[in-house]
Structure 1
Amino acid sequence: MDEFIKQTEQKDKGEGFFELETPRMLEVNLDGLVWAKAGSMVAYHGKIKFDREGILEHGLGTAFKKALTGEGASLMKANGRGKLYLADEGKKIIILNLQNDSIYVNGNDLLAFEPGIKWKIKLMRRIAGMMAGGLFNVHCEGTGMIAITTHYEPLTLRVSPGQPVITDPNATVAWSGNLQPEFQTDISLKTFFGRGSGESIQMRFEGDGFVVVQPYEEVKRVEKG
């Protein structure tokens, strides 16, 4: 037992506001406010209050988009002082430090972000009728930390002028904020896999930036109620 406790106990690493306690557990050294994915809290100590995001807290447009997509990217606010531990289904966690940058993150893969980060929801309307629940992303910009999650090890692909990158929407985690993906249907794949195949729908990235993919096809979940 002593050896197990020694190997697994919490250790302060002095990394700042966000700290990877393990590759799949995020420690938030909270002294104020943090936004986090609803349901991601696994433990905390200190005095912390949790509030689910208000339906109109970020404007009617955001509330409408969330209702329209029906997808599970609800957020909660954790406010107070202490140590907060977040996780999401054992997925690997990556901390990104934005310096006046912007990035799009799949709505299901955004774990937490500092309150100074500006964010808005973007619905991929052209694909909404092709996939169950559509495809819904969060645009984050500004200066501060965000934490995203991936199933297994992520791969970042560079997008260069004249060298587009095509991805499976269900395996696409994030991309640089200056890129605007287009959607295309591969008729040959559609015929090969069948009419309901997700592989027949692809995201095409052109320009100068990057896209992050994971070795897993994440089926978008639809919230009930």
Structure 2
Amino acid sequence: MSEYSIQQFIEQTKQDESENDYFELETPRILEVNLMDQVWAKAGSMISYNGEIKFEREGILEHGVGRLFKKAMTGEGSALMKASGRGRLYLADQGKKITVFDLDGESITVNGNDLLAFEPSVEWDIKLMKKVAGMVSGGLFNVTLNGSGRVAVTSHYEPLTLLVKPGESVITDPHATVAWSGHLEPEFRTDISFKTLLGRGSGESIQMEFKGEGFVIVQPFEEGHVSSE
């Protein structure tokens, strides 16, 4: 472990006052939001703030009855909070690495557990993975985001992007899948021999298959699995 005087440590780790972009990566695992109006963020992700900021849980009818129904189906994992006001807001999620995307009329689908924050200009909708709700512990849900604005996504360790090409499908473990092109519709399949070969937990035999053209982002970690190693 490195040794610092307190002053050296402060200089090494202090916030950068010169940054004023809407979303700034203060460190690879802490997002700074230079709030001028409002932002949507994962409930419980605030670690610090200054200025005049008010926090509210997502209102019951904030986004209509349809999304409320889907939210109830997917549980608290999809809970969002709205931060309103002016100031600096710092967000993090269990020390996960943060990636910021700047959408320009594009669409991205994010695993609900891996969505950290997005600008209010970005349109979003929750999508249920009905086929695997009973097969994967806790079920799975995604949030599709499109339009223009910043989106912050988290991953355990460094993410890897896999390209999906026509005739070359990409197959992933649902627990390790962070995000993918918004227009791609993954198919779910089970492979008993795959499960038997690995001799691992019950969720291991479920796979996501992506076909067409686009990208899939995976992480070197299986969300929801506890390793005994």
Give the secondary structure class of the aligned counterpart of 2:10.
Answer: helix
In structure 1, give the amino acid aligned to 2:11. K
How far, CA to CA, are the matches of 1:180 and 1:43 in structure 2? 37
User: How big is the shift at 1:64?
Assistant: 1.3
State the TM-score, normalizing by the size of structure 2.
0.92
Is the Cα contact below 8 Å between 1:114 and 1:145 reproduced in 2? yes
**Which residues of structure 1 form unaligned runs of 5+?**
221-225
- 1:67 maps to which residue? 72
Is residue 135 of structure 2 the alignment partner of residue 130 of structure 1? yes
Q: How does 1:53-132 map to 2 (within 5 A)?
A: 53-132=58-137
1:188 aligned to 2:193? yes
Deviation at 1:133, TM superposition (A): 2.0
**Per-residue CA distance 1:158-193 (angstroms, 9 max, x = gap):** 000000000000000000011000000012023345
Q: RMSD of the TM alignment (CA)?
A: 1.4
Residue in structure 2 matching 1:216, options 202, 215, 221: 221
State the distance in 2 between where 1:3 and 1:133 align.
Answer: 45
Partner Cα distance (1:125, 1:72) in 2: 16
Q: Distance in 2 between matches of 1:73 and 1:93?
A: 18
Aligned partners of 2:20 and 2:34 also within 8 Å = no
Identical residues among aligned pairs (%): 67
1:31 aligns to 2:36 (yes or no): yes
Instruction: Give, in angstroms, the shift of residue 132 of structure 1.
Output: 1.6
Q: Unmatched 5+ residue regions in structure 2? A: 1-5
SS state of the match for residue 68, structure 1?
A: helix
Partner of residue 159, structure 2: 154
SS in 2 for 1:108: helix
- Tell me the alpha carbon deviations over residues 37-59 of structure 1, each in whole angstroms, 9 at most, x when there is no partner: 00000001000000000122111
CA shift for structure 1 position 12:
3.1
Contact 2:52 2:86 in 1 (8 A): yes
- TM-superposed deviation, 1:196: 4.8
Code of the aligned partner of 2:25:
L
Is this contact kept in 2: 1:159–1:205, CA < 8 A? yes
Counterpart position of 1:223: none
Q: Report what 2:48 is aligned to.
A: 43
* Alignment check: 8 A CA contact 1:13 1:19 kept: no
Contact 1:71 1:136 survives alignment (8 Å): no
SS at 1:63 equivalent: helix
Q: How many correspondences in the alignment? A: 220
